[in-house]
Amino acid sequence: MNRRILAAMRYTRRNPALAVGIGLLLAILLFWGIGSIFVPFSRTSALSVPASRAPSWEFPLGTDRQGRDLLAVMIAGTSLTLRIGLIAGFIGIFIGTILGFVSAYYRGAVDTIIRGSVDVLLTVPSLLVMILVAVALKGGLTVEGMALVVSILAWVWPTRTIRAQVLTMRESGYIRVAQLSGMSSPEIIVKEMMPNLLPYLAASLVNAVAAAILASIGLEALGLGPMESPTLGMTIYWVLHYSALLHGMWWWWAPPIIIIVILFVGLFLLSTGLDELANPRVRRSV
C-alpha cells in the first residue's frame, strides 16, 4: 500500500494539472468544512444580521441587503452548489454508462434505437429544455429538484462518448479471448471492460459535474432556482436583483465569482489530469 501511495505521489509530480486541480478542490472543501463549524447556518436567513454592511471583523465578507452574513452564504452555497453538480453528474454518467455499454456491446436493434435517440437529443437545445422544466417547477423547486432538472439531458453526451470507447475496446484481443473462454457478456463488461475504462469514466464524471454546476448557476441567475436556498447561483441572482454592481457593493458579488472561478479551474485541471491518465498515448510513466 505504501508503495502505491508513493507511486501516486510521484505521478502527481509528473502530472501538475492533476495535482493543482486536486489542491484547488481540497481548498474549496476545507473552506466549506472548517467554515461550517465556526459560522452558523442560521446567518444565511434573511434579517438574521444587519443589512448592507461592508466587510469588517464581525462580518469578514460583509452582509447583503437581505440581512444575511455573506460568509455564511458562501460556505452554505459552496456545499449546495457542489451537491447539485454531483447529483446531476452522477445521474448523467450512470445512465450514460449503462446505455453506452449496452449499445456498443450488444449492437443490433438496441444500438440503433439508443444511437438514434442520442443523435436526435443532441440537436435539442438542452438549456431551453431545462428552462421550460424549471419554469414549470419553479414554485416548489429544491436543491435536489434543481439537480434533477439539470440532469434531464446530462446523460446524452456521455452515452455517445462512452459508446465510442466501448466500440473500440470490443474489438480488442483480450475481449476476444474472454468471449472464447466462455465468459458471459455481463461478466466481460464488468470484469474486463469496466476496469480499463475507469480513468475515462472518472474524467467524464468530472466534466459532467462541471457542466451541471454551470447549467445550475445559469438557471439560478435567471431566477429559476431554489429561491430559499443560498446557492452560489441564487446569490448572483440576488446581486442582479438588487443592482449590487450599481450600488458599489463589491463584497456581495466578488466572493461568489471568486469561488466559482476556483471551482471551475480546479475541475478543469482535474479533468485534464485524469484524461492524461486515461489516455495511454500521453500518459506519463509513474
pLDDT tens per residue, range 223-264 = 888 888 899 999 999 999 999 988 889 999 999 999 999 999
151/145 Cα distance (integer angstroms): 10
203/147 Cα distance (integer angstroms): 20
* C-beta separation of 118 from 159 below 8 A: yes
9/26 Cα distance (integer angstroms): 16
SS3 63: strand
pLDDT class of 286 with cuts at 50, 70, 90: very low
- What are the residue ranges of helices labelled H in the chain? 2-14, 16-38, 70-106, 108-122, 126-137, 143-150, 156-170, 173-180, 185-187, 194-221, 232-241, 250-278
The mean of the pLDDT values for the chain is: 87
232/238 Cα distance (integer angstroms): 10
Q: What pLDDT digit, counting tens, does each position of 164-190 carry?
A: 988 888 877 788 888 888 788 888 888
| Higher pLDDT pick, 192 / 156 | 156
151/214 Cα distance (integer angstroms): 12
Grid cell, residue 143, equals 436543491
* Helix 70-106 / helix 16-38 crossing angle, nearest 10 deg: 130
User: Which whole number is the average pLDDT over 191-219?
Assistant: 90
* pLDDT greater than 70 at residue 281: no
The residues, any chain, with a CB within 8 Å of residue 83's CB and separated by 6 or more, are 143, 144, 147
Q: Can you say how many angstroms the Cα of residue 103 is from the centroid of all Cα atoms in its chain?
A: 25
Q: What pLDDT digit, counting tens, does each position of 80-93 carry?
A: 999 999 999 999 99
* 108, 109, 113, 115: CA torsion to nearest 10: 10
* pLDDT greater than 70 at residue 8: no
The domains found in the chain, sorted by start residue, are 16-278 (1.10.3720.10)
77/226 Cα distance (integer angstroms): 12
Q: What pLDDT digit, counting tens, does each position of 109-126 carry?
A: 999 999 999 999 999 888
Q: How many CB atoms lie within 10 A of CB 260?
A: 20
* Helix 70-106 / helix 232-241 crossing angle, nearest 10 deg: 130
